[in-house]
């Protein structure tokens, strides 16, 4: 969305045993944020619309002094945290600690959880209180996005698309990719395919049919890159 400013021939489904060592953790914030909240660095920045809070505890939990509208931005490389910014003045208001470096911040479809995506962890954060939950271990994670209906979390790693529970991030199945994604992914208009790139080659992933294929080679200056294997 413009107002945010700053947003796969082998068919296979692997068993959950292939993802042994991963874990899921159910985490939902106590209530929706009081005003628009945007996670910067997401595949597509999803603003969370204003919604009245249902609990009567008010802005407790360390967020009472923060404005309702906030931006969350991954900290500098190697810093392992999130910066909470004032969207107007763009000054840091607070800090959310993370166990590892964060690449992007992706809001869950219901707006009750922000997922801080790092190469080795997915960290759930309550957007209303800025409290972090227990991190979920992952391997070589690159990008996170969600199915249009919110039923599935789609995690792109170095050579796989992992389908996970959108609330707990527990693994369901995964799909090998013919090449390593090199760009931020997006969903097609009907939500059936994930589109990204492998160098100069487009990569289309039909996540429901469990198929992946490389597509049109993108043209650029100089010699064309070899087709991915």
* Nearest residue to 161 via CA among 7, 2, 4, 18: 18
Q: How far apart are CA 187 and CA 146, in angstroms?
A: 9
* Mean confidence (pLDDT) of the chain: 73
CA dihedral sign, ordered 44, 49, 54, 57: positive
pLDDT tens string 163-221 = 999 999 999 999 999 999 998 899 988 899 999 998 888 999 999 888 888 875 555 44
Give the per-residue pLDDT at 89: 84
In 3-state terms, what secondary structure has residue 140? coil
Q: What is the pTM of this model?
A: 0.69
Domain boundaries, given as residue ranges, for the chain: 22-138, 139-218
Q: How far apart are CA 143 and CA 158, in angstroms?
A: 10
The share of the chain scoring above pLDDT 70, in percent, equals 64
Distances (CA, A) of 128 to 113, 175, 176, 220: 9, 34, 36, 45
Retrieve residue 33's tokens. Answer: 């944020």
Give the pairing of strands 70-74 and 37-39.
Answer: parallel
Sheet holding 92-97, edge to edge: 37-39, 70-74, 81-85, 92-97
pLDDT tens string 144-156 = 999 999 999 999 9
Q: How many residues does the chain have?
A: 229
Q: What is the fold of 139-218? A: Hemopexin (2.110.10)
């Amino acid at each position: 969305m413009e107002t945010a400013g700053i947003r796969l021939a082998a068919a296979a489904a692997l068993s959950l045993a292939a993802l042994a060592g991963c874990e899921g953790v159910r985490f939902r914030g106590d209530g929706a944020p009081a005003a628009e909240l945007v996670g910067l660095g997401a595949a597509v920045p999803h603003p969370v619309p204003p919604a009245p809070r249902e609990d009567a505890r008010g802005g407790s939990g360390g967020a009472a002094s923060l404005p309702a509208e906030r931006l969350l931005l991954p900290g500098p490389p190697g810093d392992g945290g999130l910066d909470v910014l004032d969207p107007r003045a763009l000054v840091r208001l607070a800090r959310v600690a993370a166990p590892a470096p964060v690449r992007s911040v992706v809001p869950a479809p219901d707006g009750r959880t922000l997922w801080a995506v790092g190469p080795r962890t997915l960290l759930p954060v309550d957007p209303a209180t800025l409290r972090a939950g227990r991190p979920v271990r992952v391997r070589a994670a690159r990008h996170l996005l969600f199915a249009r209906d919110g039923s599935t979390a789609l995690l792109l790693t170095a050579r796989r698309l992992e389908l996970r529970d959108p609330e707990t991030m527990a693994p369901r199945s995964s799909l090998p990719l013919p090449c390593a994604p090199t760009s931020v992914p997006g969903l097609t208009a009907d939500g059936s395919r994930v589109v990204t790139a492998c160098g100069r080659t487009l990569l289309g992933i039909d996540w429901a049919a469990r198929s992946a294929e490389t597509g049109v080679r993108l043209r650029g200056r100089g010699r064309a890159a070899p087709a991915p294997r």
